[in-house]
A = this chain, B = another copy of it.
Amino acid sequence: MVLRKIFPKETDFFSMFASAGENLKDSAALLVELMEHLDKSEYLAKQIHEIEQNGDMLTHEIFRMLNKTFITPIDREDIHALVCRLDDVLDLIWTCADRSYLFKLKSSRPEAVELSKTLQTSAEVIMKAVSALKDKKYSYIQEFCIEINRLENKADTIFRNALAKLFEEEKDPIEIIKWKNIFEHLEDATDTCEDVANILESIVLKHA
């Protein structure tokens, strides 16, 4: 990641959005692997942590640029909101990974895999959407946002089903506490993807 700190060009913001999108995509892919192979949770959580720390630096750099740049290619507050929400998704992916490791979860639950796969698809669509900002492909972005909303609805159904099954099947209260927490973080992550879509949509509406 090369950051031109002194003379930021307009395009810098766009390439930084693309980097943030890629971080999401990569970390979500690792989270799917983690949910499928809980025995590798320590190793995979570490890898996700590295991406999350890169993401923190990237977010910080965008804020710094934002404060130093007079004319921004997109409304200042939209850039700020977009970057905050992208960072929130990455944080939540890392939290899911970390809790899975800290709780020493043994066997996975099919809904956790399903939820993380839905999140992965959302992350991929977000990456495409933020990358399309540069070339002002607004109609594409609108399609991507509809897709992210659809995925959030799908995740919500899986989440509610996961909760219902957890309380029906699991008799150990400590396992319930752990998995409820994991499911909630996974759902929170897809919810936050929808927040990203809402911001993108409002950017598109202003420029269309």
Contact = CB atoms under 8 A, between A and B. Distances in A.
Interface of A: 63-64, 67-68, 98-99, 102-104, 160, 163-164, 167-168, 173-174, 176-178, 180, 198, 201-202, 205-206
B178 A177 contact: no
B206 A67 contact: yes
Contacts of A206: 67
Given A63-B198, A102-B163, A102-B167, 5 more contacts: A63-B202, A68-B205, A104-B167, A167-B178, A177-B180
Contacts of A163: 99, 102-103
Given A173-B173, A173-B174, A177-B177, A167 B64 contact: no
Nearest to A167: B103
A201 B99 CA distance: 30
Contacts of A205: 63-64, 67-68
Contacts of A174: 167, 173, 176
A98 B163 CA distance: 11
A185 B64 CA distance: 30
A72 to B, nearest CB: 14
23 contacts: A63-B198, A63-B201, A63-B205, A67-B202, A67-B205, A67-B206, A68-B205, A98-B160, A99-B163, A102-B160, A102-B163, A102-B164, A103-B163, A103-B167, A104-B167, A167-B174, A167-B178, A173-B173, A173-B174, A173-B177, A176-B177, A177-B177, A177-B180
